[in-house]
């Protein structure tokens, strides 16, 4: 099957030819007719299979030219970086189409975005939080929305956007087409579909949790953080094989900690992104990694969701994710567009249960590798790895709630106050010979009598 079989229009064919695309991916081929029909749709496909083009091709084909100011298509994505990426993809397809596309997200000046909205838009790409802020301010009118696309919906729910999504559904026109794409089908996603979608047609290219066949996976059992660092350094020294590496960590503090350790060896080859970094810093790090200026990118889960970066040779899970769906998203950053990719995962003894959950979801074991003999096994532990010392039960020891506070003492005589009740104001008046309350001009006259 080729794009010619989809009966697109000339502007879209010209854009696809410029991009060098001739054959649609399975999700693009399956989703085209459903989205074109106007029915609600739920698409399940692994990351890296071209979901953005899957919903934008039929939308752009049927989007007629208009001069109205309010947007007609709304695309919701979980992160700022993904807003930027989706806008770029839409602009590539819209090269020969006269439409207006805008991306809005938090962390930037909302007044600048309000001004851009007031100039008129056709397609709006947004994160849920900033979209709701703009809608509440009345600058953004959503009454003309015909199509709502929710991309990476499972990630959005993981990030706690459920209530914001429900609030957005309430202010959208009831007659609209709902299109949802997700790499995994979780219980929360299913609840959302049942509540807000009208008899949706499901397009599933792979069972939820099925990894891409062209990703080779393997894992190491590693005792602690510093041994992980030693193993990672050993692996990354092979610059020819590990030429573009995305490293995932569990949280922001770990990202900074790992960056400091790797910076001792790799300097200019290294960059990092997490939510505490400024928006410009994050976008610059991604662009430098995409362009090959940096060989290694350290990232948290949230920052690299849905990012489409070509030719990532390896994804390394420095920490094992608690949720197996997160592992699927992580490794989906490599092996994109039918290229070969490799995924490694480091796991400590505490992380073995998470490994079992991942293997259960994928219905396959991850091959195990031995740590090379040249890698030093460290005995040093970071704060999170040290055992918590618990004192044996001591019935004579005061509990925390029974212990006096740090400022517990008897008040000195000068600080002790007597509760004088209603007579207090009269004592003050007698002491200072003037009224306690302003405006009582006759007070002194009464006292003189």
- Cα of 224 vs its chain's centroid, Å: 27
- In this prediction, residue 318 has a pLDDT band, given cuts at 50, 70 and 90, of very high
Count of CB atoms within 10 A of residue 430's CB? 9
Which range scores top for mean pLDDT: 150-164, 356-370, 433-447?
Answer: 356-370
Local confidence band at 154 (pLDDT 50, 70, 90 cut-offs): confident
How far apart CA 185 and CA 43 sit, in angstroms, is 10
> What are 106-124's pLDDT values in tens digits?
888 999 999 999 999 999 9
Confidence of residue 276 (pLDDT cuts 50, 70, 90): confident
Among 42-51, 370-379, 425-434, name the one with the lowest average pLDDT.
425-434
By residue count, the chain amounts to 449
Instruction: Let me know: does 316 contact 247? Beta carbons within 8 Å.
Output: yes
Q: Provide the pLDDT for residue 162.
A: 84
Instruction: Say if residue 250's pLDDT is above 60.
Output: yes
Confidence of residue 183 (pLDDT cuts 50, 70, 90): confident
Q: Where are the beta strands (DSSP E) in 64-208?
A: 73-76, 101-104, 123-126, 147-150, 177-182, 201-204
What is the pLDDT confidence band of residue 1, given thresholds at 50, 70 and 90?
Answer: confident
What pLDDT score does 324 carry? 83
177-181, 290-294, 298-302: least confidently modelled range: 298-302
Average pLDDT over all residues of the chain: 85
Q: Can you give the pLDDT at residue 401?
A: 57
Predicted pLDDT at 228: 95
**Do 127 and 83 meet the contact criterion of CB atoms below 8 Å apart?**
yes
DSSP letter, residue 96: T
Given a cut of 90, whether residue 241 has pLDDT beyond it is yes
Distance between CA atoms of residues 358 and 352, nearest Å: 10
Q: Where are the alpha helices (DSSP H) in 172-323?
A: 187-196, 225-236, 252-266, 279-291
Residue 354 CA, distance from chain mean position: 21
Which pLDDT band, with edges at 50, 70 and 90, does 289 fall under?
A: very high
The full set of domain ranges for the chain reads 3-204, 215-385, 413-448
- Gap between the terminal Cα atoms of the chain: 110
Most confident of 50-54, 71-75, 167-171: 71-75
291 contacts: CB under 8 Å, gap ≥ 6: none
The matching CATH number, chosen from 3.40.50.300, 3.40.50.970, 3.40.50.920, 1.10.3720.10, for 3-204 is 3.40.50.300
pTM of the predicted model as reported, rounded to 2 decimal places: 0.70
Percent of the chain with pLDDT over 70: 83
pLDDT tens digits, one per residue of 367-414: 999 999 999 999 999 888 888 776 666 666 655 555 555 555 566 665
More confident residue, 207 or 164: 164
pLDDT at residue 330 in the model: 86
pLDDT at position 210, please?
59
Q: What is the pLDDT of residue 155?
A: 75
pLDDT band with cut points at 50, 70 and 90 for residue 328: confident
Region 124-153: mean pLDDT is 92
pLDDT of residue 431: 66
* pLDDT score at 263: 93
**Digit-coded pLDDT (tens) for 96-107:** 999 999 999 988
Instruction: Answer whether residue 151 shows pLDDT above 90.
Output: no
Which residues 6+ apart lie within 8 Å of 16 measured at CB? 3, 8, 22, 93
On the question of a common fold for 3-204 and 215-385, the answer reads yes
Mean pLDDT of 281-295: 89
Q: Give me the residues paired with residue 123 across strands.
A: 73, 101
- Binned at pLDDT 50, 70 and 90, residue 343 comes out as very high
pLDDT, tens digit (0-9, with 9 covering 90-100), for 187-221: 778 888 888 888 899 888 765 555 667 889 999 99
Neighbours of 105 (CB within 10 A): 21
Q: Which of 33-42, 89-98, 305-314, 371-380 has the lowest mean pLDDT?
A: 305-314
Asked whether residue 346 carries a pLDDT value surpassing 90, the answer given is yes
- CATH of segment(s) 215-385: 3.40.50.300
């Amino acid at each position: 099957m080729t794009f010619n079989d989809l009966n697109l229009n000339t502007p879209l064919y010209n854009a696809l030819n410029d991009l060098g695309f001739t054959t649609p991916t399975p999700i693009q081929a399956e989703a085209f007719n459903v989205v074109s029909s106007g029915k609600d749709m739920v698409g399940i496909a692994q990351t890296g299979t071209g979901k953005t083009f899957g919903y934008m091709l039929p939308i752009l084909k049927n989007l007629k030219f208009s001069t109205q100011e309010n947007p007609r298509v709304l695309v919701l994505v979980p992160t700022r970086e993904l807003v930027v990426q989706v806008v770029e993809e839409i602009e590539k397809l819209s090269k020969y189409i006269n439409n207006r596309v805008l991306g809005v997200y938090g962390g930037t000046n909302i007044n600048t975005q309000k001004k851009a909205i007031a100039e008129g838009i056709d397609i709006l790409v947004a994160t849920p939080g900033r979209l709701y802020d703009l809608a509440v301010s009345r600058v953004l009118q959503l009454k003309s929305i015909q199509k709502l696309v929710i991309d990476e919906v499972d990630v959005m729910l993981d990030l706690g956007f459920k209530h914001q999504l429900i609030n957005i559904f309430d202010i959208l026109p009831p007659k609209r087409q709902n299109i949802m794409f997700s790499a995994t089908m979780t219980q929360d996603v299913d609840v959302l579909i049942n509540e807000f979608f009208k008899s949706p047609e499901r397009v599933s290219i792979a069972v939820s949790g099925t990894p891409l066949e062209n990703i080779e996976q393997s894992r190491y059992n590693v005792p602690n953080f510093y041994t992980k660092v030693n193993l990672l350094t050993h692996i990354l020294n092979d610059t020819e094989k590990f030429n573009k590496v995305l490293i995932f960590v569990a949280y922001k503090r770990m990202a900074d900690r790992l960056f400091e350790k790797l910076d001792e060896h790799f300097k200019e080859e290294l960059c990092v992104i997490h939510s505490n970094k400024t928006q410009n810093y994050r976008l610059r790090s991604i662009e430098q990694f995409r362009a090959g200026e940096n060989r290694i990118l350290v990232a948290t889960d949230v920052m690299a969701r849905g990012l489409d970066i070509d030719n990532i040779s390896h994804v390394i899970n420095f920490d094992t994710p608690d949720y197996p769906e997160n592992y699927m998203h992580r490794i989906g950053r490599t092996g994109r567009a039918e290229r070969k990719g490799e995924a490694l995962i480091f796991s400590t003894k505490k992380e073995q249960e998470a490994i079992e959950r991942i293997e259960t979801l994928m219905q396959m074991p991850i091959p195990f590798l031995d740590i090379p003999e040249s890698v030093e096994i460290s005995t040093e532990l970071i704060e999170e790895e040290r055992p918590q010392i618990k004192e044996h039960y001591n019935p004579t020891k005061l509990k925390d709630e029974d212990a006096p506070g740090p400022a517990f003492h008897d008040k000195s005589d000068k600080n002790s106050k007597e509760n004088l009740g209603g007579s207090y104001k009269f004592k003050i008046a007698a002491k200072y010979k003037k009224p306690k309350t302003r405006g009582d001009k006759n007070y002194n006259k009464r006292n003189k009598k």
